[in-house]
Each structure stands twice: as C-alpha cells, then as structure tokens.
C-alpha cells in the first residue's frame, strides 16, 4: 500500500500572514496590510479599567511587539513554572495602543491580526469586548469595523493571563510575542485564508494548478465582479491565467474554483526551493477591489511502507530536527532575522526538515522554510485530555497542570482548523501532526478522539498525510491509535525499547518516521570520556556505547554539563540513531531532539534554566555533534575533530581524538607527525587515543587518496584580545532588523582560546541598541539584557537592533587585561 499526496502549494502570504519580511506596510489595490508592532504601552499587573478608552496609561512602559515580559524577569527556583518552565515567571499583563483612522475607514473592512499571544488573551476595541483566545500559540483575528471611530483616535487593549503555572512542559514566555497587523479591505474582498491552492496532478512535464477562492460581500447589494488568477515565475513571466465573472449575495461569502495548467514546471525541493507567484485580482466595473499575492511551490511526494519517502520522484530521507519557538536570549519574542539566522545554521549542516515542537509556530517560520528549502512537520498539540496511566493510579488530566487539556473540548477543533487554513498553502509543509506523546493514545477513547481530529484535517486539507509523535508505542498499538495514522511517528524509537523492526513485522503496511530521536546531551566545549545514560542503560538490543577510556580523563566537569563525545544520552546516541534511520529502507527519516538548546525542561534543576539537548547552543554556536550531522548530511568535503587541544597539566595522558568526515579516510597529525590514517568505510566516526602534548593537531580528510578537507586545532596561549564578528555589515533601519555579533577570545597569535572565561563589558554608540547578550552556558544566571557577560568556553553573542534611524553604530567590547575591540555596522 502506497500513500500518494499530490500536494498543496503555498500560502496566503501577503494576505494575512505576519511574516512578509519586516516591511511596515503592504499595499495592493483595495487592500492594505499595516505592521502594527510599534508604539504600544505595557504594564505588568491586572487593570480591569484598562479595557476602557479613557484609562490613563501615560505611566506605562513604551514598547514594540513582539514582546516577552518573562525573559527579562528574574529567573528563580521559587518561580511556579519550576523545571518545566526554566524557573521563569508568569503573571498578568496589559497592552494598549492608540491609532488614528482617516475618513476612508468608513467605507472599509478593518481587522486586526495577531500571530500569537501567550496566553489567555482578551481583546477590546474602544471599550467593546472582542473575544478570548486561550491557546497561546495560535494566530487569530477580530473584525474591528463596527466599533471604530472613522477620522478619529481608536484604542485597542489586550489582557494577557499566564498566571496559572505550569501551563506547559517548557518555557512559554508571556505576552504579545508574535507580529500584529492591521488589515484594511474593501467590503467586497477575498475572505481571510480565502485562497487555497493545490496541484492535483504534477509531473516533470506539466502541473495542474487548482485554486479555490472565497469571496466575501459585506455590501448591502450585489453586483457582478471579475475574479482573475495570474501565475508568474520568479522572473515575473506570466505562465497561466484564469478569469471568471460572478457575484455574491449581500452579507454572504461564496467559493469559486479555477484551474491553470503549467508546462515544464520548476519543482520545489529543499535543494531548489523554486517559488511562483499567484496574483488573485478582484475587479468590479474595471476598478480594482482586492489583490493578493500568493507564493506558490509545486511539488509532489510519496510515503511508502517499503521505500520510506520520496519527493518529486526521488527517494530521500528527512534529515530533520525538532525546534521550540523560543529564540534563546530573546525568549519567545519573535524576531525575523534571529529566526532566519537559526535556519541558516541548520541549512549549512545539511538539515532539510523541521518539526514544530509541540505547537503551532509562527507563519514567518513557514515562509522562511518555503523560501530556504525545509520540509515541515506542522504540529498542533502537546496534550489532549488524558494523563499517563502508570503506577496503578489515575492521575489528573493533562500533562501540565494548567495546560491545553483545560481547553481541548471547546477549542481543539477551532485551533486545528485555524492552523491548517493558515499553513495549508505552504509547500514546505509535508505532514500535519495532531499531537506529541499524547497519553490519550494509550486508550481506545484516544483513538476516537484521533478520528475526530483527523476528520478536521481531511475537511480542510485532504492533500497531506497525518501523523503524531508516539512514545509507549506498545500501548498505542494495543489501542489502535498508531495504526489509525497515515504516518506513524516514533518518539525515542517508540518508548523504552526501539520497536522499528518488531513493528515492521507486525504491521507491514505501516509507514515509519522517527519523529523525535535521538535525545542526546552535549554542552559546547565540554568533554567526558565515560558514557552516561539518563535513567537506564539503553534497551531494545541497542549496543551500549562503550567508555572511551577506562578511567575518566576530565574529572572536573560540573554535573549540569554534558559531554560532547556523543556519549551522554537517553537510550541511543546520534551515531547509532542515524545509522538505523539511514539503513532501514522503510524509515522515512528522522527528527532529532533538538536543533537548538531551548529554555525550560531543566533536567538537572536549578541553577540550570535549560538542558543540553541541542546540537547548537542557545546563542547559536554549533557543538561538536553538529559536525557529525554535517558529515552525514552534506557532500561538500569536510572534516571535524574534537576535543580542543588546551589540556595543560595532562601531558602524557591519552586523550580520545574523534574525527567526523564525509571523506573516505582521515589522517591525523600532531606537531607534524602522522598518527596514522584510518578508513571511514561505514563508520560514523574515527577515534585515536593520543598522549597529550601541546602543539598543533591536524586532521586531513581524503578522497581517492587526495586531501580534500583539513581542520587544525592549536594549543592556545593566554587570553590577549577580543575578536568581534558581525553577521551583516549593514541592516535596515526599521526598529526590527538585528545584527548578531560573535565574540571570541584570542591569544597573542590570534588563536581561539577554548577555555577562556573572561568577563566582557559592552557599550554601543549610534543608531542601535543592545537587546540581548548570551553565552550558551546552562548555568548562566545573569539577565539577558545585562551589558556585561563572561564568555563561556571562549565565546558569547551580542544581538544589536536598529532604532529606526539611518546612520551607523559602533559596538565596543572591553575586558580587564585584554585588548579591546570594536565593530561598526551601517543602518539604512
């Protein structure tokens, strides 16, 4: 049995998504979409009167959104979020914004779009209550039209309540943490999420493009109009057109179907993410009434029980990672460029897929995945109603005490519908996931709930398969839950034992996807030679990873830090997990946990605000495991060796040196002397035990006997200077664009000092401000807006944001005993 999904292509982007770059306004004939992020007022606490227009907010803080008030609060072991929330705060907060509308507003439909508000948001306009949205990760809108003051001031007020804790199993942040937009249209217009584009038939020779458009008429009369669809290439060449004349009854909406045929289409893929543009034009009496631009990606894919996954007819593995929505030092306050940089780092590693763990992420992420070439497993929920049925005692419902189970019955179908309608046109979205490790899967009632949610998905988008990430697979098999899914997602191999092979025998028609594995730990620049497993030795026939040495070489590592040798894990490490996914032909792919370190889920407790799951640290610096994946997921020649070579005091001690490479062999040298060449064959890594002596360690990767890649690690001297590296030399002066400045400690010979811990003081002059400083250290307790920071193992990161004025800014870094450094960036 094969499952063939001819695909949707891409988005309602210009219409309503909040991720169309950082431009402040998008104007098309009959439609205006205004960035509504700027000039809000905010205060912590509860102020019931703040919903009314005459409330005095003059003493409140002036802010822009996206905004997360918890990230700059004090993290404390006494905070009620506890380990799950990274010891962050919660509470209630209010936002207010005053805005002016001209006379033309009287003839327009005006709505407000929120990309997400965490959580339990309530909204008022000019004192009129608009509604409640409990789920903090879902986008939503309100029609403001009936309550607006045309040609006058208007006040919008938002109450946010994240006071009941814990509300999730990770750091959630608090506030209006995604973009806000004000949308103005004519009264005859394309409805919200009103363009749905699919490609029912796709080959390399042609593609049929099906467009379903919903037109809404808010006039008290009806007149004929023309609905025109035009498809353009990236070079603005018109390649398809369809036009119909129709009309819609007053106060109603009507859906229209149109088709185009495209010959020799350029297909969308991770390696070549080609996008077309669909222009939807609404005209009446030769006057433009509405216009939307929908980026379109054309592709087809197949899941097979025997052959895994293929895209555009080519078999491939999903080489994926799970990511949470927090952006490290910014918390959950979305910044487009910070998110984009993270995706760039993953792309360079060879990653081609993202799982949105474990809730709806921003539409900006979807737009970037479309443009940059990532396939997406788009996930809706982390919990439904039940708790885990263990220990003989039925626990309270849900997974978090004040989690989504409190809202599931009333809101789950509404939230799922909103997610699908928002994202169903994105070519990056390959799978819908209706849940992660849902305890309901253990019960027959859970299978009934699954059927209802799958029915919602099928109604809104019949073109994609449905999955869920499952642990305790043996119970999900017994209940029928796992077999109900189109694609069965295995978290941690399915539970306490890896169940791929056994389940394949029992369920030969099942489609297998490793949705969350491996769970390995690593702290950047930290090493232990003794292997460590969380809670137990690995089960299910997985060979235990041996210790690299008989006795621990590195004995002074704090317990909150994890080894970068891929020998600290739950059940299985990165190498063994990927080998299984790669070699089992029926495995569609793997999403490792996680791409980046994320706030919350502090396994070892205070003072760690997070744990070390990521292959990239919270500041965006790759750990050694990153290069393991690069060696497996990319073709460009590379070699990477670990650990660093600053081990003074360990002269003569055998230190394991590990090499990752996509070459055929690697030769290792110490101080010019060859320590031997080793063949990769089918190995995931190569290991030498090297008696330590200071100097230069060099690895040379070879193909066909020729050196094609090289890496050098040098024993550095004492810290002497600061290096500043900006990811961009100029940014847009728009109050949203940022520059990431990497800070490195060097010795007098400009060698990186891998164990440096100097405290650096930062200052900035010019048209920008420092919004965050981070070093990736799980034990760092300092506030992220503190302008002083110790580097962690030689590095830290400064994020600088434009203040909206063109010019330039200069960042200066100073430290006691070190040569200071500065860097200048243009804003324009």
Q: Are 585 and 314 in contact (CB under 8 A)?
A: no
Tokens read off for 274: 């080609």
Is there a catalytic annotation at residue 437?
Answer: yes
Cβ-contact 348, 621 below 8 angstroms: no
Q: CA-CA distance, 176 to 178, in Å (whole number)?
A: 6
End-to-end Cα, the chain, rounded Å: 56
The Cα–Cα gap between 253 and 461 comes to 20
Task: Write down the catalytic residue from 367, 437, 601, 667.
Answer: 437
Cα gap 131→122, rounded to integer Å:
6
Which of 470, 467, 474, 468 is CA-nearest to residue 491?
A: 470
Closest C-alpha among 176, 104, 103 to residue 137: 176
- Compute how many other C-beta atoms are within 10 angstroms of the C-beta atom of residue 770: 18
Strands of 604-683 (E only): list them.
Answer: 639-642, 654-661, 665-670, 673-679
Contact 179, 19 (CB under 8 A): yes
Q: Which DSSP category does 460 fall into?
A: H
Question: 25 forms bridges with which residues in the sheet?
Answer: 34
Neighbours of 749 (CB within 10 A): 9
Q: Residues near 164 by Cβ (< 8 Å), separated by ≥ 6?
A: 90, 401, 402
* CA atoms of 72 and 89, how far apart (whole Å): 9
DSSP 206-242: EEEEEEEEEEEE-SSS---EEEEEEEE-TT--EEEEE
Tokens 């205070």, residue located: 606
Region class of 267: left (phi > 0), else alpha (psi between -120 and 50), else beta: beta
CA–chain centroid gap for 804, Å, is 27
Virtual torsion, Cα 232, 237, 241, 243, nearest 10 deg? 90
The two tokens of residue 796 are 């830290």
Given 379, 418, 516, 767, the catalytic residue: 516
Instruction: Tell me the chain's radius of gyration from C-alpha atoms.
Output: 27
In angstroms, the CA 345 to CA 592 distance is 15
Which has the closest alpha carbon to 100: 36, 31, 57, 55?
36
Annotation marks residue 601 as catalytic: no
Residue 21 in tokens: 């770059």
Is the sign of the CA dihedral 169, 174, 179, 180 positive or negative? positive
**Cβ–Cβ < 8 Å for 436, 460:** no
CA-based angle 510:512:513, to the nearest 5?
Answer: 150
d(CA 579, CA 764): 48
- 683: number of CA atoms within 13 Å, CB side? 15
In terms of C-beta density within 10 A (0-12 exposed, 13-18 middle, 19 or more buried), how is residue 648 classed? exposed
Contact between residue 105 and residue 184 where contact means Cβ atoms under 8 Å apart: yes
Residues that are catalytic:
437, 516
């Amino acid at each position: 049995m094969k499952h063939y999904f001819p695909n949707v292509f891409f988005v309602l982007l210009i219409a309503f998504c909040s991720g169309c770059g950082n431009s402040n306004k998008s104007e098309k004939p009959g439609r205006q979409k205004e960035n509504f992020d700027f000039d809000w007022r905010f205060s912590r606490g509860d102020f019931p009167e703040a919903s009314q227009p005459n409330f005095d907010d003059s003493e409140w803080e002036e802010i822009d959104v996206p905004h997360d008030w918890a990230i700059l609060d004090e993290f404390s072991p006494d905070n009620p979020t506890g380990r799950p929330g990274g010891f962050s705060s919660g509470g209630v907060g209010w936002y207010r914004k005053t805005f002016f509308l001209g006379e033309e507003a009287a003839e327009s439909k005006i709505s407000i779009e929120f990309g997400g508000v965490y959580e339990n948001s309530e909204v008022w306009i000019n004192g009129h209550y608009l509604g409640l949205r409990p789920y903090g990760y879902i986008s939503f809108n309100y029609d403001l039209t009936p309550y607006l003051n045309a040609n006058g001031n208007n006040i919008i007020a938002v109450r946010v309540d994240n006071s009941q804790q814990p509300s999730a199993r990770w750091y959630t942040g608090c506030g209006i943490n995604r973009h806000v937009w004000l949308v103005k249209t004519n009264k005859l217009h394309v409805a919200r999420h009103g363009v749905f584009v699919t490609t029912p038939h796709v080959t390399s020779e042609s593609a049929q493009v099906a467009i379903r458009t919903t037109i809404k008429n808010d006039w008290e009369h009806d007149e004929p109009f023309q609905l025109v669809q035009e498809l353009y290439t990236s070079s603005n060449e018109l390649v398809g057109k369809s036009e119909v004349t129709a009309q819609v009854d007053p106060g109603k909406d009507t859906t229209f179907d149109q088709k185009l045929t495209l010959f020799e289409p350029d297909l969308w893929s991770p390696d070549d993410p080609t996008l077309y543009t669909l222009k939807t034009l609404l005209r009446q009496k030769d006057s433009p009434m509405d216009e939307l631009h929908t980026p379109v990606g054309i592709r087809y894919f197949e899941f097979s029980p025997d052959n895994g996954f293929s895209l555009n007819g080519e078999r491939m593995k999903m080489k994926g990672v799970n990511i949470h929505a927090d952006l490290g030092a910014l918390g959950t306050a979305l910044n487009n460029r910070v998110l984009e940089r993270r995706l760039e780092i993953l792309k360079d590693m060879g990653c081609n897929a993202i799982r949105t763990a474990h809730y709806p992420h921003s539409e900006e992420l979807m737009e970037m995945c479309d443009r940059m070439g990532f396939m997406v497993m788009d996930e809706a929920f982390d919990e439904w109603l039940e708790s885990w049925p263990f220990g003989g005692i039925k626990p309270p419902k849900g997974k978090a005490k004040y989690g989504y189970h409190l809202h599931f019955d009333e809101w789950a179908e509404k939230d799922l519908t909103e997610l699908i309608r928002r994202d169903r046109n994105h070519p990056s979205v390959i799978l819908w996931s209706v849940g992660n490790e849902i305890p309901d899967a253990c019960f027959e009632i859970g299978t009934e709930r699954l059927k209802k949610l799958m029915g919602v998905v099928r109604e809104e988008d019949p073109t994609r398969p449905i999955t869920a990430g499952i642990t305790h697979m043996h119970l999900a098999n017994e209940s029928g839950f796992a077999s109900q899914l189109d694609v069965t997602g295995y978290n941690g191999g399915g539970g306490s034992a890896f169940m791929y092979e056994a389940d394949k025998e029992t369920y030969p028609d099942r489609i297998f996807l490793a949705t969350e594995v491996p769970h390995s730990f690593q702290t950047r620049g930290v090493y232990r030679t003794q292997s460590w497993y969380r809670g137990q030795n690995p089960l299910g026939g997985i060979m235990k990873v041996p210790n690299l040495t008989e006795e621990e070489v590195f004995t002074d590592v704090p317990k909150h830090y994890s080894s970068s040798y891929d020998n600290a894990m739950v059940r299985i490490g990165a190498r063994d997990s990927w080998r299984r996914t790669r070699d089992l032909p029926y495995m569609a792919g793997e999403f490792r946990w996680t791409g980046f370190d994320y706030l919350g889920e502090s396994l070892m407790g205070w003072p760690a605000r997070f744990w070390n799951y990521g292959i990239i640290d919270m500041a965006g610096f790759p750990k050694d495991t990153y290069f393991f994946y690069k060696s497996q997921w990319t073709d460009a020649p590379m070699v990477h060796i670990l650990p660093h070579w600053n081990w003074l005091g360990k002269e003569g001690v055998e230190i394991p040196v590990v090499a990752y490479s996509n070459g055929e062999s690697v030769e290792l040298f110490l101080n010019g002397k060859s320590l031997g060449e080793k063949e990769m064959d089918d190995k995931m890594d190569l290991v030498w035990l090297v008696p330590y002596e200071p100097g230069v360690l060099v690895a040379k990767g070879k193909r066909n006997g020729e050196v094609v890649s090289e890496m050098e690690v040098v024993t550095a001297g004492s810290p002497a200077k600061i290096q500043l590296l900006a990811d961009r030399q100029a940014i847009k002066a728009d109050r949203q664009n940022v520059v990431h400045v990497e800070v490195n400690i060097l010795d007098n010979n400009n060698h990186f000092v891998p164990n440096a811990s100097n405290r650096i003081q930062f200052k900035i002059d010019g048209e920008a401000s420092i919004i965050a400083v981070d070093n990736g250290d799980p034990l760092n307790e300092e506030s992220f807006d503190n302008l002083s920071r110790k580097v962690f193992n030689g590095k830290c990161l400064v994020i600088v944001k434009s203040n909206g004025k063109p010019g330039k800014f200069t960042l200066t870094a100073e430290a006691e005993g070190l040569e200071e450094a500065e860097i200048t960036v243009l804003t324009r």
